Amino acid sequence: MATTPSTPRDNWGSRLGFVMAAAGSAVGLGNIWKFPYTAGQSGGGAFLMIYLLFVIFIGFSVMLTEFAIGRKTQRSAVGSFKSTDKRWTFVGFMGVLSGFLIMGFYPVVGGWSLAYIFKVGGGLLNTPEAIGDSFGGFISNPVQPLIWMGIYIALNIAVVIKGISGGIEKAGKVLMPLLFLILIVVAVKGISLPGATAGLEFLFKPDFSKVDSSVVLAALGQAFFSLSLGMGAMITYGSYLKKKENLVQTTAMVVSMDTAVAILAGVAMFPAMFAFAIEPAAGPGLVFVVVPQLFAEMGGTIGMLFALMFFIGLTVAALTSSVSLLEVVVSYLIDEKGLSRKTAVFGASTIMAIMCIFASLSLGGLGPTIFGTGAFDVFDLLTDKVFLAVGGMFICIFAGWRMSRSDLEKEITNDGEVSFPLFGLWYNLVKFVIPFAVAIVAYMGISGGFESGQGPIMLLGIAIIAVIALVSKKL
Ligand code: PFF
């Protein structure tokens, strides 16, 4: 049973509440765990510049589009497309599938972060030379990470079950500013280490000789992932947004906060990394090795307390993001399938937990592989390199070509009450430029992906999209 648009939706309690919740969705492991290691693997400064260009020209526009679609249709990811034009329902389904896939590995890393709160408290920092090995041993252990992942998912369920203004908003409001402050401490400490300037140079001095099509696609994927775009999370959040809120301002605030945290995480990580002679391309373990080492260097109880606060902050940032991922799936099940919130949350979480078990085991070399790639990397590659960007492309095509320009203008300007002088520019970006740009970057990135062995998985992603497009009309 689908709800009618006139059904009153649970609304965000306050203006700041919405901005913090949307920023809570955006700021997460993507900024603090993924951004530094992806930048590290992709050459540093040049990656950062391309990433920033994508954030400004594509990310901002897509986020505004998602908010506008959500608030206009008052529906979640699937319903918003379905209620406008049934042929476009597949974009919503792509979003729900992306929600499942990201939730198939995100809680694994969330669980690591949770575990590190206890590891740091339990004396990890006393033996700085063993920090790197300890991380490798931990994630390849078949049992330990699973337990933490399970606890993480339980926490996630607890927040989502309470509904919109009750759970999500409160968590975001209190803990986001705390995380920001801790990151500043990490950054200041990192920069003060001997040899740290090489890290800042690596991050801010672009070396374009390192750029190829894979780097450009990685930057695009990172922009979408970090801003929670391309899968209807912001459509869903926008559907709960009050009619009088200023969408443009909200978008600008969320995009700037997210970008500030990513850059801050880079500034926190790279100088320390260079000071400790850790390879920039060290990969997914980066935060879990660099940050404890940095606080071990600081020494004593102070070092331990900061490290504790860092991992508490990171866990909460992860939670406010995964809550929105789960919400995309849950609100689909509630709005379109008529399930109760409880059933939807428990049902979806069970499937996600099973996927996470495969993802976690794959890091220890266990479990099935596809084209020689383990579950963790498959879920990550499919979403980060294919579904989110292609989803964002379809969202733009939908808004530009399927919705009326005047409806969009009315929605974004609150019926003419809010001025948005750049409306024409935004509209043309969404209608013409972004679809084209994403298509080119994705095409080149996927072709280039065959050199690194990621190509077959990405092609599989395109095939899955084609299948969803074909069958979604019947669902
Ligand atoms: N933006 C989140 C992060 O940076 O960790 C991840 C994410 C959340 C991606 C929600 C997509 C999404 F819909």
Residues 328-354: pLDDT tens digits?
A: 999 899 988 999 999 999 999 999 999
Q: Which of 305, 320, 277, 230 is nearest to 32 (CA)?
A: 320
Of residues 237 and 226, the one with the higher pLDDT is: 226
Instruction: State which ligand 1 atom lies nearest to the alpha carbon of 328.
Output: 13
Per-state percent for the chain, helix, strand, coil, to nearest 5: 80, 0, 20
**Residue 10 scores a pLDDT above 90:** no
**How wide is the angle at C-alpha 100 spanned by C-alphas 97 and 106, nearest 5°?**
135
| C-beta 105 within 6 A of ligand 1 | no
| C-beta 233 within 6 A of ligand 1 | yes
**Residue 44 scores a pLDDT above 50:** yes
**Residue 4 scores a pLDDT above 90:** no
* Residue at 164 is within a domain: yes
Q: Which amino acid is at 91?
A: V
What is the CA(389)–ligand 1 centre distance, in A?
13
> What pLDDT does residue 3 have?
41
* Confidence at 12, pLDDT banded by 50, 70, 90: low
> Could you give the count of Cα atoms lying within 13 Å of 1 in the half-sphere of its Cβ?
5
* Residue at 44 is within a domain: yes
Please tell me the distance from the alpha carbon of residue 164 to that of residue 169, in angstroms, as a whole number.
7
**Residue 169 scores a pLDDT above 90:** no
| SS3 per residue for 182-219 | HHHHHHHHHHCCCCCHHHHHHHHCCCHHHCCHHHHHHH
| C-beta 321 within 6 A of ligand 1 | yes
Task: Please state, in angstroms and as integers, the Cα–Cα distance from residue 295 to each residue in 126, 318, 402, following that order.
Answer: 10, 21, 53
**Residue 242 scores a pLDDT above 90:** no
> Could you give the count of Cα atoms lying within 13 Å of 428 in the half-sphere of its Cβ?
3
Please tell me the distance from the alpha carbon of residue 219 to that of residue 157, in angstroms, as a whole number.
31
Q: Which residue has the tokens 């991050």?
A: 203
Range of the domain at 307: 15-474
Please tell me the distance from the alpha carbon of residue 352 to that of residue 349, in angstroms, as a whole number.
5
Q: What is the mean pLDDT of the chain?
A: 91
Rounded to an integer, the average pLDDT of 373-396 is 97
Express each pLDDT in 387-446 by its tens digit: 999 999 999 999 999 999 999 999 999 999 999 999 999 999 999 999 999 999 999 999
Rounded to an integer, the average pLDDT of 223-233 is 97
* Residue at 5 is within a domain: no
What is the CA(35)–ligand 1 centre distance, in A?
12
* Confidence at 292, pLDDT banded by 50, 70, 90: very high
Nearest residue (CA) to ligand 1, atom 11: 228
What is the CA(323)–ligand 1 centre distance, in A?
9
Rounded to an integer, the average pLDDT of 286-314 is 90
Express each pLDDT in 72-94 by its tens digit: 999 989 999 999 999 999 999 99
- Is residue 235 within a helix (H) or strand (E), and if so which, with residue range? helix 233-239
Ramachandran assignment for 74, one of left (phi > 0), alpha (psi -120 to 50 degrees), beta (any other): left
Express each pLDDT in 118-135 by its tens digit: 999 998 898 888 898 999
| C-beta 231 within 6 A of ligand 1 | yes
| C-beta 28 within 6 A of ligand 1 | yes
Q: Which amino acid is at 180?
A: F
> What pLDDT does residue 8 have?
56
Which of 159, 226, 329 has the most ligand 1 atoms within 8 A of CB, as the residue to mutate?
Answer: 226
| C-beta 38 within 6 A of ligand 1 | no
**Residue 7 scores a pLDDT above 80:** no
Task: Quickly count: other Cβ atoms within 10 Å of residue 415's Cβ.
Answer: 9
Express each pLDDT in 247-269 by its tens digit: 999 999 999 999 999 999 999 99
- % of the chain surpassing 90 pLDDT: 75
* Residue at 7 is within a domain: no
Parallel, antiparallel, or unpaired for β 369-370 and 373-374? antiparallel
Backbone angles phi and psi of 374, in degrees to 5: -75, 165
Torsion over CA of 18, 110, 43 and 50, rounded to 10 degrees? -20
* Residue at 348 is within a domain: yes
> What pLDDT does residue 5 have?
45
* Residue at 282 is within a domain: yes
> What pLDDT does residue 426 have?
98
What is the CA(30)–ligand 1 centre distance, in A?
6
User: How far is Cα of residue 169 from the mean position of the Cα atoms in its chain?
Assistant: 18
**Residue 14 scores a pLDDT above 70:** no
Please tell me the distance from the alpha carbon of residue 215 to that of residue 50, in angstroms, as a whole number.
9
What are the start-end ranges of the H helices in 74-195?
77-82, 89-102, 106-121, 131-140, 144-161, 169-191
* Residue at 10 is within a domain: no
What is the CA(63)–ligand 1 centre distance, in A?
12
* Residue at 399 is within a domain: yes
Q: Does residue 392 contact residue 470 with C-beta atoms inside 8 Å?
A: no
Instruction: State which ligand 1 atom lies nearest to the alpha carbon of 233.
Output: 13
- Is residue 374 within a helix (H) or strand (E), and if so which, with residue range? strand 373-374
Task: Please state, in angstroms and as integers, the Cα–Cα distance from residue 170 to each residue in 10, 51, 274, following that order.
Answer: 15, 31, 38
For the chain, what is the domain count? 1
Structure tokens at 356: 């996470």
DSSP 244: T
Which of 63, 159, 325 has the most ligand 1 atoms within 8 A of CB, as the residue to mutate?
Answer: 325
What is the CA(283)–ligand 1 centre distance, in A?
19
Structure tokens at 407: 């409806």
**Residue 172 scores a pLDDT above 70:** no
| C-beta 229 within 6 A of ligand 1 | no
CATH number at 28 reads: 1.20.1740.10
Please tell me the distance from the alpha carbon of residue 164 to that of residue 360, in angstroms, as a whole number.
30
Nearest residue (CA) to ligand 1, atom 9: 228
**Residue 40 scores a pLDDT above 50:** yes
